[in-house]
A and B are shown apart, each in its own frame.
Chain A
Amino acid sequence: MTVSSPLCGLLDYKRRSQRQIPETFTIPAVEAGQATDEPALSLAGLRRDYGERTALDGIGLELGRGETLLVLGPNGAGKTTLLRILATLLRPSGGEVRALGCSLPAETWKLRGRIGFLGHEPLLYRDLSGRENLRFHARLHGMRGAAAEGRIEGLLAAVAMERRAEGRVAELSAGMRQRLAIARCVLHEPELLLLDEPDSNLDAEGRELARALIGPGETRTRVIVSHDPERFEAEADQVLRLEAGGKVAIR
């Protein structure tokens, strides 16, 4: 068979790569509740190119566990690109990235499931209800049964969406979708929260409710992207200012 060699090669590569990803694996130190000196985030010379355009260049910082990094900058400065790299959704073009002790992109499989990502899109299916969406995400993260249902119920209450939980997401307002997205983001109790404009579309009550779920916390390491420095600056342990063309300033 002429197709057999490349096909066998691909399958062999996949088998070898999957051998490194056991269905149950233990995350060293953190999962066991032990203290670790390694920072939650460590970036060195991080670069990301889109073709010939450089979106991020030479970013280096360290962020301790439980700390908050605020990322500021004008449109097109690379804030969302940085967040997507940390979320394992984009590969860096150069430099070193370590998140929660995992080197990216080599160890993305160790990191997935430990990140809560709140991007521009709520990552909710419009034709499913809020509860069905949360159930879908819970199952993808290995949560099932009464524990998952209890967690979903608790989160729906926490974002004041119990009464609209059975309605299709397409019929909800942008603010309600954002509340559900926040519930989706913290559903699996992630250690690292990556939040892109977390307050967008939220009213005052929504912001207050969101703060309880994604606000500062001892066990919560957060990276927040925002256009509004005043909103999050007081909570931030470090502030990263990105400028178009990849220039960087850190406070």
Chain B
Amino acid sequence: MTPSRTAFATILAKDLRAELRTLQSLPAMALFATTTFVIFRFGLDRTSLSGSLASGVLWATLLFAALLGVNRLFVSEREEGGFDAIRLAPIDRSALFAAKATALFAYLLVLEMVVVPIFAVFFLDSAAALAPLAAVLLLADLGLAATGTLISSMAVHSRARDLLGPLVLLPLVVPLMIAATGASEPLFAVGGPGYHRFGTWLAVLSLYDLIFLLVGYAVFDFLLED
């Protein structure tokens, strides 16, 4: 049996190398998010957003940008035989789940490093909210990565994967998005970041992450069977 950490590192390195070479996911995600911010900026006709509106604009944009990455996560495995290659190797298949979730998590981090400063320039009066927002982003990304990887691995086998993925994923991430917007809302308050129920929402995000990471680890083997 090849050690799981070796399999994990090998699959993750392959994915990151392929993405760096082809740029199939990240540029599309960043372009989508930036365009959406521009539309919100002119559509709402506001130069400054605060509270729940700012939080809603940020998370709706990040969620739909993330879907682009989720949809493409397993395409190479499906179209180029990666699933068969990995199933033929003497490895624990959970290594594939861990590697794919880590790759998606990395894509989301890079996306946010690009588009959250754009959001701040477009809509925020100060950058004071960005430091505590990083904690919310990290926890929400972890949940999105776990759930997105799980759903993407199932949807990729369907011919209607571009439809099926979001159709199944969006209802599943509603609790995550409620917690993320709830945690972000006081950070964007007029007059500077507030922390009302911030800790509670972070705890909800952590619990969501834990549940879906464990579910992914537990069921991924079975999803790869014929």
What residues of chain A have their CB less than 8 Å away from a CB belonging to chain B?
Answer: 3, 7, 10-11, 13-14, 17-18, 21-25, 87-91, 109, 112-113, 115, 117, 119, 121-128, 132, 136-137, 139-142, 144
Contact = CB atoms under 8 A, between A and B. Distances in A.
B85 A123 contact: yes
Contact of A139 (B4, B10, B215): B10
Interface of A is mostly: loop
Contacts of B221: 14, 17
A136 B84 contact: no
Contacts of B3: 23, 142
A119 B84 contact: yes
B226 A25 contact: no
A127 B25 CA distance: 14
A127 B22 contact: yes
Contacts of A88: 87-88
Interface string B1-33: 111101100110010011001100000000000
B81 interface: yes
17 contacts: A7-B214, A11-B218, A13-B218, A14-B217, A18-B92, A87-B88, A88-B87, A89-B88, A90-B226, A109-B90, A113-B90, A128-B14, A128-B17, A132-B14, A140-B85, A142-B3, A142-B6
Interface in B136-179: none
B225 interface: yes
Interface residues of B, number: 35
B89 interface: yes
A112 B90 contact: yes
A112 B88 contact: yes
A141 B226 CA distance: 22
B80 interface: yes
A111 to B, nearest CB: 9
A115 B17 contact: no
B129 interface: no
A140 B218 contact: no
A52 to B, nearest CB: 17
A140 B90 CA distance: 7
Contacts of B84: 89, 117, 119, 121, 123
Contact of A121 (B18, B80, B214, B226): B80
Contacts of B22: 127
Nearest to A24: B1
Contacts of B214: 7, 11
Contacts of B87: 88-89, 112
